[in-house]
Structure 1
Amino acid sequence: MTTTEHLHVGGKDDALEQRLDDELTAFNAEATGAGVPEGLTVSVTDGAGELVGGLTAYVWGGLCAIDMLWVRADQRHAGWGGRLLRAAEDEAVRRGCTDLAVSSYTFQAPGFYVRHGFRETGRIPGVPGGHADVCLHKSIGEGIGT
């Protein structure tokens, strides 16, 4: 490091996040030939147009990675989580994916994903605050595990 470089530590930096995303996306696309990740979203609204639940994910290189799945408290246990997940899986298969991946804390819903055909592939114990981060995977498409 020369005397002109400066190391900065700070809070959320949207510009830095965007730059890193752009740089890593370009590197990954070149290194793998898998192209650029595409977003995938699924949502459901009630009769008043209010959000009942939703799912965000990205598709890249045959993988559909789920970022977030949420259902409004008054609609939980009404089957919306499973319907959102199935819709995302169907769309992922349509886009050529063979795998689904998700991470869920132990206080969230790893059991939900297991009930939907995922298997635990790893666990980071103790985060956050004595819980664990559970990594899950499911093979999909072309008759595999669907």
Structure 2
Amino acid sequence: MTQKENYRFSLGRDDKAHEVVRSGLEAFNTALIGENPYHDFALYARDGQDQVVGGMFGHSGAGWLYIDYLWLHDSQRGQGLGAHLLGLAEEEARQRGCVGVFLYTYSFQAPGFYQKQGYQPMGVLDDCPPGYQRIYLKKSLTA
């Protein structure tokens, strides 16, 4: 622990402290913009044997759907399943009243795939991980 003046700083997991910070920021935001709950989102693709061969998950809130993970089994890539999953996610986002979808991918993953689906780059973080880029993309659902 590091101390400075009358404060004590701690690094590491602390569930009670986490809740104080989370609820404090939520109260601050709610006072300014009103209630804005976040809701989990999950969508999975299963084959004829009920095996998961792809899927995605994230959450919606603040008028946007955020896709945290999207994965397809190697055997399913290049066959349109990823585009179909994104289309279903976008429809769910509309049902939730979202104005758009956003996500990030890495330069070694599939930035071109997302751009083909109409996602526009909105930022790049270089050397994340070192030697690569983290690319942030969004797609408006209102246009």
SS in structure 2 at match of 1:48: coil
Instruction: Return the offset for 1:17.
Output: 8.8
Question: Is the CA contact (8 Å cut-off) linking 1:26 and 1:36 kept in structure 2?
Answer: no
Aligned partners of 1:34, 1:65: CA distance in 2, in Å? Answer: 18
Supply the RMSD in Å over aligned alpha carbons. 2.2
Question: Which deviates more, 59-68 or 113-122?
Answer: 59-68
Question: Is the CA contact (8 Å cut-off) linking 1:106 and 1:133 kept in structure 2?
Answer: yes
Structure 2: gaps of 5 or more residues: none
SS in structure 2 at match of 1:40: strand
User: CA deviation digits over 1:69-110, x for unaligned, max 9?
Assistant: 111122222222111111000010111111111111111111
Aligned partners of 2:54, 2:17: CA distance in 1, in Å? Answer: 26
Instruction: Return the offset for 1:65.
Output: 1.2
Percent of aligned positions that are identical: 32
* Structure-1 residue corresponding to 2:123: 122
TM-score by length of 1: 0.82
User: CA deviation digits over 1:90-136, x for unaligned, max 9?
Assistant: 01011111111111111111111100001111111111011011111
SS in structure 2 at match of 1:86: helix
User: CA deviation digits over 1:36-88, x for unaligned, max 9?
Assistant: 11111111112222211111121112211111111112222222211111100
* Structure-1 residue corresponding to 2:32: 31
1:15–1:38 CA distance, 2 compared to 1 (3 A): same
* Structure-1 residue corresponding to 2:51: 50
